[in-house]
Amino acid sequence: MREVSAVNEFGQTVTVFIPAERALTVYVDKRELVTLMTLGAHPELLVLGFLRNQRLVASVDEVEGISVDWEVGAAAVKTRLGIPDIEARTAKRVVTTGCGQGSVFGDLMAEVDNWVLPPATLTQAQLYRIVNTIRLRDSTYKLSGSVHGCGLFCGDELQLFIEDVGRHNALDTLAGWMWMQDQRGGCGSDKVCYTTGRLTSEMVIKSAQMGVPIVVSRSGITQMGLDIAKKLDVCAIGRATNRRFKCFSGAHRLLLQPELVGTRPALAPA
């Protein structure tokens, strides 16, 4: 975060906090792969999650180490055996709807059919606690209105909250963290992913790839996001603010408690 001056509607000079993103160029075995713009809270986890979500590495064990040098804005990834066909696998360029990581390397859709997600469910009360936990967070997002946040929950318990200039970076960092946790047992299958960003196809795919069957967003969903959520049986809950929400897919995973919100107000006077 950086403090800058701005002129407001009264003509006054005021102090505003804005997010200070930096460029981080990722080198895999000395080969330049990509440049990420990031707030850089957890650059190693971001790079690890990026490699995983782009499916360039299949297991943490394939990565010998990641070292970040902010002086030169570089992250050097060393793999144990190299990444086979890296040239071909990063050649196809899909410009997506996503914030942050617009390029999806390779054909993410190819394997999707084989994925099976754990049978986790969420109660409406848990959903409200998740939304409230995010609401109460003193976040860069709130302060600047210029970043996206992602939270990983175990049931309604917040495990990790990450903010970045792009929601993909935030989600990739979560993925990197989860991947490291999985090595140590993880939190089980009752995972819920919250994002301030929209539920686009890539966001749903990334969550599913992490084995998270429930995604919650304060924003909406797109058609491709919905199509993939249905295909993967992901519970996709959008427009979640205060006590309102819309469950677009996988509603059987959401245990409704409509008594929590009382009766819907009648449209006409009784």
If one asks whether residue 258 binds a second copy (CB under 8 A), the answer comes out as: yes
Contact call for residue 244 and a second copy (CB under 8 A): yes
Residue 120 DSSP code: -
Is residue 30 near a second copy by the rule CB under 8 A?
no
Minimum distance, C-beta of residue 186 to a second copy, in the bound complex (Å): 27
* Closer Cβ to a second copy, 10 or 88, answer by number: 10
Region for residue 186 given its phi and psi (left: phi exceeds 0; alpha: psi -120 to 50; beta: otherwise): left
**CB burial class (10 A; 0-12, 13-18, 19+) of residue 60?**
middle
CA 108 from centroid of its chain's CA atoms: 16
Q: Is 6 in the site for a second copy (CB under 8 A)?
A: yes
Contact between 220 and a second copy (CB under 8 A)?
yes
Question: Per rule CB under 8 A, is residue 270 in the interface with a second copy?
Answer: no
Contact (CB, 8 A) for 240 and 131: yes
Residue 246: CA count within 13 A, CB half-sphere: 10
State which H helix or E strand residue 171 sits in. helix 167-182
Considering only residues 127 through 166, tell me which ones interact with a second copy, judged by CB under 8 A. 144-146, 165-166
Three-state DSSP string of 181-237? HHCCCCCCCCEEEEECCCECHHHHHHHHHCCCCEEEECCCECHHHHHHHHHHCCEEE
Q: From the list 103, 121, 139, 181, which residue makes contact with a second copy (rule: CB under 8 A)?
A: 103
Regarding 195 and contact with a second copy (CB under 8 A), the answer is no
Q: Tell me: does residue 43 bind a second copy (CB under 8 A).
A: no
Answer yes or no whether residue 53 interacts with a second copy by CB under 8 A: no
Residues numbered 57 to 96 that lie near a second copy (CB under 8 A) are 90, 93-96
- If DSSP codes are grouped into helix, strand and coil, which group holds residue 259? helix
Q: Which is nearer to a second copy, 79 or 101 (CB)?
A: 101
Is 100 a binding residue for a second copy by CB under 8 A? The answer is yes
Q: Does 125 bind a second copy (CB under 8 A)?
A: no
Indicate whether 8 belongs to the interface with a second copy (CB under 8 A): yes
Counting beta carbons within 10 angstroms of the beta carbon of residue 129, is it exposed (0 to 12), middle (13 to 18) or buried (19 or more)?
middle
How many of the chain's residues bind a second copy (CB under 8 A)? 66
Q: Which two tokens stand for residue 52?
A: 């995983």
Nearer to a second copy, 185 or 258 (CB): 258
Site residues, a second copy (CB under 8 A): 2, 4, 6-12, 14, 16, 18-21, 23, 33-37, 90, 93-103, 124, 144-146, 165-166, 198-201, 219-224, 226, 238-239, 243-248, 251, 254, 256, 258, 260-261, 263-264
